[in-house]
Amino acid sequence: MPATKRFHDCPQILKDFLYYMLTIRGRSLKTVDAYHTDLRIFLRYMKSVKTDISSDLDFHEIDISDIDIDLIRQITLSDVYGFLNYTMSERENNSKTRSRKVSCIRSFFKYLTAKAGLLSENPVKDLETPSLKKLMPKYLTLEESIALISGVDTAHKERDYCIITFFLNCGMRLSELVGINISDIRDNTVKLLGKGNKERIVYLNESCVYALEQYLKIRKQPVKATEKDALFLSRRGTRLTARRVEQIVEECLKHSGLSCKGYSPHKLRHTAATLMYQHGGVDIRVLKEVLGHANLATTEIYTHVSDKQIEKAAKASPLSKIIINK
């Protein structure tokens, strides 16, 4: 859907922000669609508390197309806290969802203040992010990873084996994998296009090079000239979609006896990072570059210790073998 139709229900001030995020900041359409959804809810809430609209009107029927900078100027930090309370109590948003909304609201007001010059002061500059429960990333063990690679037995075995090998060895994102072109590959490296249109180079180890060579031997020719450079092709000769790759991963997990465990392409990315850190001894700063993270804090989720490490620590106690019979 064209961006103009996506944002048809927005006031001009919000359209300008969304176009700015798309064209200047280079955010993906998926990300900007999420901004659109969150800010539409935010502005509907603000209109409901700042203007005299009918209380009988359904929330989703509130028209925000007439909202201008005059209403925006009335918004205070207290109003934003009220909105976050509304999303928690009325919409049952968890802390992660509310945190995303906070980030979105911050970006919107930063644009209005620093870029558009429509506000002299930013009312949300002191807005804090809701506390998030820190969860360890879900990942396959080394044994499960070997079982997954060994168990690839699909109708397009060479292609799917290469996909699984890339995920488990390179830690690439799903969008990065489906976007790989043959021209992106040089010797033992591949150029990936990550979040925010940021490019990075990832090295292919021996397993990846072998898997790639075997796949390229049987790779069929694309049906369209526009697809001739796409690395991973469907049986129809078109670039694989993200959803199709998800299905391929699901099928491979099933063949390996690893289905119904909540694993996914993103969990394979977690697996690659965890194995590099725990078994490969890769420095956290190097891992950050491999994964294409913007900051080190994001990468630090992979520094969690394994159950075996915890068990080893318990056995390392000088009292571990002291048994006194009473």
Catalytic residues: 173, 195, 266, 269, 293, 302
The backbone torsions φ and ψ at residue 32, rounded to the nearest 5 degrees and listed phi first, read -70, -35
**Hunting for tokens 């420095």 — which residue is that?**
283
Q: What Cα–Cα distance (Å) separates residue 283 from each residue in 54, 165, 294?
A: 59, 22, 16
β 199-203/185-186 pair status: unpaired
Pairwise CA distance, residues 159 & 126, whole Å: 50
Helix or strand run (H / E) with residue 214: helix 206-218
Token pair 């699984």 is found at: 164
Strands laid side by side in the 185-186 sheet: 185-186, 189-193, 199-203
